[in-house]
Amino acid sequence: MAEESVLVTGGAGFIGSHLVRGLLRQGHAVRVIDDYATGRIENLEDVRGDIDLLESSLLDSAALARAVRGVTVVFHEAAIPSVARSARDPMRSHEANVTSTVALLNAAREADVERLIYASSSSVYGGIDALPVHEELPTVPVSPYGASKLAGEQYCRAFTRTFGFPTISLRYFNVFGPRQDPTSEYAAVIPRFALALIREQPPVIFGDGRQSRDFTYVDNVIEGNLLAARASEEAFGGVFNVAQGGRHTLLELLVMLESMLDVGSAPPQWEAPRAGDVRHSQADVSAAGRLLGYRPLVTFEEGLRRTVDWLRSVAPAAVGL
């Protein structure tokens, strides 16, 4: 991808803000649109002067037209990324994750954007028993969130097939890293566990803790996006797993965090399994390797160490520890 103007939707979010920095490092002119439904302006504080920032929903047609004008690549990160939240409010999840995606696809096509990279999710697979999962397996989401991300994929594929508009969908697997909010009601498990241990509180485990996840450090996801932005047309309309390619149980994760934080063993607080959660998740990333040139650059252990270092140095002060 030559130096050009790009748009990151949801660029004030956890993943979006990392992507913004990755694109700036490559010399691109970066525009961000975010309504701060889940993102935070603080995530962009140190690069605020280097980007064109629009505060708006993608459902504002005038703002959306302004956002896509003159850009060559759109990275669509904006979403409400929570299984639990989608179970509580499926209509809001649909609006944010599906209706907004269709509006963006249409606006980008009309503005002659060259390609759109869509952030999908491993949740589209649902509770498939075969591991690791590959892109040819059936998609049977078990949560409204998973259904909404699958719908977004299908719209991307339809716009490629119907209009010849280039799209690539990336299925993220349990992304973690710095700037992932540990205090949110819907916080992901790694920052939630780590913050509980720092606070000397019992970490909450929903279920028996033996469920496993393909935890993927955020830099690997950013690499997948940057590669997709310059992939050949053979990848257009396709979907690709972007992940670490391994898996760890929540109990294994807890032991690793206890060791990295140098704290004693903390008996968990056990809660009932959450609706929509899958039992196991692990990705086959060979298709992304073949067509995008993807491989994970940062190991799970190194990513966890970087995340713990960030939580120690930044998050404790931010949450008043």
Q: Which domains does the chain have, with CATH numbers?
A: 5-173+218-243+282-297 (3.40.50.720)
Q: Which tens digit of pLDDT belongs to each residue from 93-126?
A: 999 999 999 999 999 999 999 999 999 999 999 9
- Band (319; pLDDT cuts 50, 70, 90): very low
- Band (321; pLDDT cuts 50, 70, 90): very low
> Is 267 buried (19+), middle (13-18) or exposed (0-12) by CB count in 10 A?
exposed
Q: Can you read off the two tokens belonging to residue 130?
A: 């075969």
| Alpha-carbon dihedral angle through residues 274, 253, 218, 275, given to the nearest 10 degrees | -10
Q: Which tens digit of pLDDT belongs to each residue from 58-77?
A: 999 999 999 999 999 999 99
Three-state DSSP class for 251? helix
Q: Give the span between the Cα atoms of 262 and 70, in whole angstroms.
A: 50
User: pTM for this one?
Assistant: 0.94
Q: Which tens digit of pLDDT belongs to each residue from 268-280?
A: 999 999 888 889 9
